[in-house]
Structure 1
Amino acid sequence: MNRFGLILAKSYMNKIKSKSFLITTIIFTLVIIGATNFQSITSLFEGSGDGDEEKWQVVVYEEDTEIAGSLSDQVAILNSSIEVSGGEAGRVDLEEQLENGEFDALLSISMTEAGRIDAEYLSASLTANSYSVDLQAALQTIQSNMAANRLSLSADELATLNMPVAFSQAAYVDSAKSAEELDQARGLVYVLIFVIYMSVLIYSMMIATEVATEKSSRVMEILISSVPPIQQIFAKILGIGLVGLTQIFIWAIVGILSVNLSSDTLEGGIYSLFDFSSGSISTIVYGIVFFLLGYFLYATLAAFLGSLVSRSEDLQQVLMPVNILIVGGAMLAFFGLAEPESGYITVTSYIPFFTPLVMFTRVGMLNIPFWEPAIAISLTVLTILVLGWFGAKVYRGGVLMYGNSSSLKDIKQAVQLSKKEKS
């Protein structure tokens, strides 16, 4: 056990002291601070709000209509950043003025015999599409008012015609989550899926890289004769896992502090989907459980695959199946956020290599019986133990293999070398 602790401590300290650890920790810390203060940062690039900011100037060219004044009043209600004025020249001249940069956009308006407004919006770029959307909404309101006047409809009658349908949803199963609870759960699950996916991907690669690096320096030949392979594998896995937990702990503390300091700005919009104040404790607990399961599963697989290569440059090829499995699980999990009750989501949630992401999605989005995640967790733990047992055999023989080969076919050769070395 003392040797196990030495390998664990060595793996942990080497990564903690590395430049890559410091750089990634700092970069993601800045990303977290930027994301939680996004609204405050973007406000620095906007106008001061005192009315002196530059407005989007729109000139209206009308054909047999007189609605430019009404449009200006209506747009002022929707977006104060748009300034609408009537054109005093022909369309050709106005287009020439637009090209010369005298204003930002030209809006040509005509009226059909049926009383419909036809409008054409012309500008140098369509990237500022929010302005055209607001102009379209204002014209829609004007057209509705004009139609109401022709039909002698009162303001209340017109409001009734435009009134949206009251549509509510409810589940007849008492344990089913409400729409609001689903929205809140979706935000939390989305974040945790991303954390699990990135952590498993990054730290599995880190373990495989360390194994390949030590193998290239011939250190493995000494270790393999003094420390059982199974202890070496899990010592490295735990060591790198502690590195990952250290980083995640730092980012969590930074995130919590940043959110608390920015709580007055994180309101509405996309932030409404990330209301963690009412998040389920069980969802967070499951998130931790599935994070650990995913890490140990893929880290064990990456460790013995990394022992097959002699150069770190060959890791990408041998780890390709691992990356495909991780990406596949993430894609299924993100699809499951929209349709967590789908048959393919249910089936794949019991496949150990997909369980950490897909079953977690189902647990977070649905109120499923406890036995379902329990079975999936048991299958995943069993798979980890089998991979650890088989991986130790591959690891023992793999570290004794040298050369440029990095094919998965070398697993058989590694097992054979393990048997010879053991005998």
Structure 2
Amino acid sequence: MNNFWIMVGYAFMNKAKSKQFIITTIIVLLGIIVMANLENITSVFDDGEESIDQIAVISDEVGYYSLLKEQVEQSIIGVELVEADGEMEVLENEVLEGEYKGILILSEDEQGLPSAKYMSESLTSSFVQYDIESSLQFIRSQLAAQALNLDAESLAILNSPVPFEVEALSEDAKTAEELDEARGLVYVLLFFIYFTVIMYSSIIATDVANEKSSRVMEILISSVSPVKQMFSKIIGIGLLGLAQMAIWLLVGYVVLTQSGSDLTGGFFEFFGFENIAFSTIIYAVVFFFLGYFLYATLAALLGSLVSRVEEVQQIILPMMLLIIIAFFISMFGLSNPESTVVTVTSYIPFFTPLVMFLRIGMLNIPAWEAMLGIAIMIATIWVLGWFGAKVYRGGVLMYGKSGGLKDIRKAIKLTKS
């Protein structure tokens, strides 16, 4: 048993000292610091003057221009309308040179109401044109109301949204507010589980292949059994991942609190972190660990079949496709968590970490369904560990060009011999 924990420590320290781990940790930390202090950073480069985009307006109807200019000044920040009477070709060149943001041509349609055409260097500035269109739509509605002899009160009634309430008949169903909060929280946690499982599983497969290519495996086999090597590597890199995430979370918490954030409102309110249920956190942790051990065991198995690091991505491609499929099912389930596809796939072990967690977060499902999903995953991990140990024991002794998944049978034969 002492050899096992020595191997765990070796797997942990070997990757912790690697340039890849250090660089990745530092890059993410810098990203956290930048995002938490984004307003302070942008203020350093701000000269204190607001940039204003000028838009040249060509209008045959003077009334339309004055109405639109007044509306834009009241509702749009950073945009100024300038009446222009120059040649169109000159104005187009001024837009291309950056003097104007765009050209707005106001005219009157067949109904005697304003219409417009907007021209700019490209169509990427959709926010500006959308804001102008909204302002012009407001003016059009006002003029149409006047033409129909409608007063302001009648127009307000005409434009008022239809009262539409939704109510769930089931006593256990979540309210619309609770669903919105749960959807944001589950969305964030799904991304977290998805990316971490992919990242650390790939590290395990690459590490196994790297040891084989450097012949370190031959030395390790003489002192520790391949089975102990596999599970020590899984646990060691798992602990490394926890340490890395703990560093990120700690630095993120310190940076946010130092920047004056009380961890409420804004991002935290939008994604439901203010009213997060303790049970949801527990389930997130459980499915994260189960998902990690499931895919890490599979990654170690696949990594043992190749002799070169360059072949790792090819051999683990089927595993990556399983995670990607689970992720897309989960994204679909965010808008339709009661779908039959979501319900059925939540019991398929390779999809369970993401899809079952989605159902738990979005729905009030019976506890036995969650426990059944957890039990299926534990059983699958045990079977995969047993089978993976057999493949790993023979796979680490295989050298030469990889034949892909076909090498699994060859690895099992080596184990028996």
TM range (shorter): over 0.9
Q: Distance in 1 between matches of 2:180 and 2:336?
A: 13
How far the C-alpha of 1:351 sits from its partner, in A, is 0.5
Q: Counterpart in 2 of 1:284?
A: 281
Matched, 1:304 2:304: no
Does the CA contact (< 8 Å) of 1:317 and 1:406 recur in 2?
no
**Cα distance, 1:165 vs. partner?**
2.2
Identity %: 51
Using the TM superposition, name which of 378-387 and 304-313 deviates more: 304-313
Q: Is 1:180 aligned with 2:177?
A: yes
1:96 to partner: Cα distance: 5.8
1:155/1:267 Cα in 2 relative to 1: closer, same or farther (>3 Å)? Answer: farther
User: Superposition pairs for residues 16-27 of structure 1, below 5 Å?
Assistant: 16-27=16-27
Structure-2 change in CA distance of 1:152 and 1:266 (3 Å): farther
Q: Paired residue for 2:234?
A: 237
* 1:135 aligned onto 2:132: yes
* Mapped contact 1:107–1:119 kept (Cα < 8 A): yes
- Point out where structure 2 has 5 or more consecutive residues left out of the alignment: none
- Unmatched runs of 5 consecutive residues or more in structure 1: none
Report if aligned partners of 1:229, 1:393 keep a CA contact under 8 Å in 2.
Answer: no
Q: Which residue in the other structure is 2:375 paired with?
A: 378
Q: 2:114 aligns with which of 114, 117, 127?
A: 117
Q: Aligned AA for 2:109?
A: T
Which amino acid in structure 2 is aligned with residue 18 of structure 1? S
Deviation of 1:119 (Å): 0.5
Query: What are the superposed Cα offsets for residues 127-166 of structure 1, whole Å, 9 maximum, x if unpaired?
Result: 2222211211111111112122222222222222222223
Give 1:414 shift: 0.9
SS at match of 1:54: coil
What TM-score do the two structures reach when normalised by structure 1? 0.91
Shift of the alpha carbon at 1:122? 1.4
Does the alignment pair 1:5 with 2:2? no
- Whether the 8 Å contact between 2:268 and 2:274 is mirrored in structure 1 is no
Pair 1:97–1:341, CA change in 2 (3 A)? same
Aligned-residue offset at 1:103: 3.0
Matching of residue 151 in structure 1 with residue 148 in structure 2:
yes
Distance 1:152 1:217, change over 3 A: closer
Question: What is the aligned-residue RMSD (CA, Å)?
Answer: 2.3
Q: Please report how far the alpha carbon of residue 40 of structure 1 lies from its aligned counterpart in structure 2 after TM superposition.
A: 4.7
1:371 and 1:47 map into 2 onto residues whose CA distance is 60
Match of 2:69 in 1: 72
User: What amino acid sits opposite 2:234 in the alignment?
Assistant: I
Counterpart for residue 31 of structure 1: 31
User: Partner residue of 2:327?
Assistant: 330
Q: What is the TM-score of this pair, normalised by structure 2?
A: 0.93
Deviates more, 1:353-362 or 1:181-190: 181-190
Structure-2 separation of matches of 1:34 and 1:379? 41
Change (3 A) 1:68 1:399: same
Q: Hey, what's the Cα distance between the residues in 2 that align with 1:266 and 1:72?
A: 40
Deviation at 1:392, TM superposition (A): 1.1
Question: How far apart, CA to CA, are the structure 1 residues paired with 2:160 and 2:372?
Answer: 50
What letter corresponds to residue 312 of structure 1 in structure 2?
Answer: V
Give the deviation of 1:76 after TM superposition.
0.7
Q: Which amino acid is 2:152 matched to?
A: A
Note the alpha carbon deviations across 1:204-235, whole angstroms, 9 max, x for none: 11112222222233333343354333322111
CA distance in 2, matches of 1:218, 1:156: 83
Match of 1:360 in 2: 357
Q: Determine helix, strand or coil for the equivalent of 1:66.
A: helix
CA contact (8 A) 2:36 2:256 kept: yes
Distance 2:44 2:154 in 1: 44
